[in-house]
Structure 1
Amino acid sequence: MVPMIRSGILAFGLATMASGGAWAQSPPSNPVLSADRMQMVSCLSQSGTAASSCIGSVAVTCVRAASGDRRAAETDCARREEVVWRERLTFASQAVMRNADSGARGQFAALQVAWEGYAAQKCAFYGSMQPSVRMAGMQAGCMLREVASRSLELERMVGQRNLVRRPSNPPSIIR
């Protein structure tokens, strides 16, 4: 790939990852977001190797507590949980970027941009296949699942590979 194009993709990818969850994030002092984070951490710590069983846990609790229009609650609650997963995705992406060499960072940034586009198109397609009254809820649920799954994938990768850069010439102790 031409270096200028590659650096452009890298810059775009880094900007996308850095701002990926920003559109949906609430202020850090938001008590609802803090409670959602705590609920997710609790679920993940209790799930063991079945972390994917936590996908939807915040949204289901939220919908059960909601009053009024159930369809609107399903959409809002899915988006609310997506914020938590997107934060986790951002942190996992930053860990990958921080611990990879420049070539791998460029590849990862391009991969993340492609993944974001894929997830958006997939969920738009699924939503368009539904009756109009269910479209928003289906799209929100789809994005929740996609973001959560990607977050778990990257968190596993970071944990399994322990992507810590090792110095090429480790220091030696002379005694």
Structure 2
Amino acid sequence: MNALRAALLLCSLGAATSAVAQGSPSLRGDLLSLAGCLRDSGASPSACIGTVAIACVGAASNNPRGAEAACARREEAAWRERLTLALQVTGRSLDAGQRSRLAAVQLAWESYVSQKCALYGASQREELQAGRQAGCELREVAERAIELAKGLSQAGRQPQSPPQIIR
């Protein structure tokens, strides 16, 4: 993959999700909920995974099992927005070759998550498949967004001592 294609991929991902956030009041609210949870969670951002989906399923008291997939996808959209922003910010500090590698890693990761969660969903009872697959995708996207955000916050820090080589 050349650098131009990688840059276009990263830009198109950002433009698409930003447009969704601007047009969706529920996504804006979900982003605010996640931001509040992440602010309050301190060093445990993973504790915020599922907060929007769980509240959404709880609000669907007439059919919670049927709401699982839609609620997981709703929260995944908010995490995906955060993931896209983290990718954009990360890409800004990289040269063309590194951006290309970042885009290749991200494409490989997307393929891995798709296959992993499809396999997991297919291994469930039929009535649980859609919800479990969507939940798997939610967790994976959230964990990737957290991982990239953590890398961004550590990017400016210098190690306290140089790495030691053990022989």
Which letter does structure 2 place at the counterpart of 1:82? E
Q: How far 1:25 moved relative to its partner? A: 6.7
1:45-97: per-residue Cα shift (whole Å, max 9, x none)?
00000000000011011111113222221111100000000000000000111
Gaps of 5+ in 1: 1-5, 164-175
TM-score by length of 1: 0.81
The aligned residue for residue 100 of structure 1 is: 94
1:13-48: per-residue Cα shift (whole Å, max 9, x none)?
742673379379735142211211111011000000
Task: Tell me if 1:109 matches 2:124.
Answer: no
Q: Between Structure 1 and Structure 2, how many residues are aligned?
A: 157
Q: Secondary structure at the match of 2:56?
A: helix
Decide which moves more: 93-102 or 82-91: 93-102
CA change 1:20–1:94 in 2 (3 A) is closer
- Kept in 1: contact 2:79–2:142 (CA 8 A): yes
Which letter does structure 2 place at the counterpart of 1:28? Q
In structure 1, distance between residues paired with 2:128 and 2:72: 13
Q: Secondary structure at the match of 1:45?
A: helix
- Choose between structure 1 and 2: higher helix proportion: 2
Q: How far 1:162 moved relative to its partner? A: 3.4
CA change 1:14–1:135 in 2 (3 A) is farther
* 1:7-26 superposed matches below 5 A: 7=2, 11=5, 14-15=8-9, 18-19=12-13, 22=16, 26=20
* 1:1-175 superposed matches below 5 A: 6-7=1-2, 11=5, 14-15=8-9, 18-19=12-13, 22=16, 26=20, 28-162=22-156
Between structure 1 and structure 2, the one with the greater Rg is: 1
TM-score by length of 2: 0.85
Q: RMSD across aligned C-alpha pairs, in angstroms?
A: 2.3
- Kept in 2: contact 1:47–1:53 (CA 8 A): yes
Flag as ranges the 4+ runs of structure 1 deviating above 3 A.
20-27
CA change 1:106–1:12 in 2 (3 A) is closer
In structure 2, distance between residues paired with 1:73 and 1:56: 14
1:114-164: per-residue Cα shift (whole Å, max 9, x none)?
00000000000100101111110011000000000000000011110139x
Decide which moves more: 106-115 or 28-37: 28-37
Gaps of 5+ in 2: 158-167
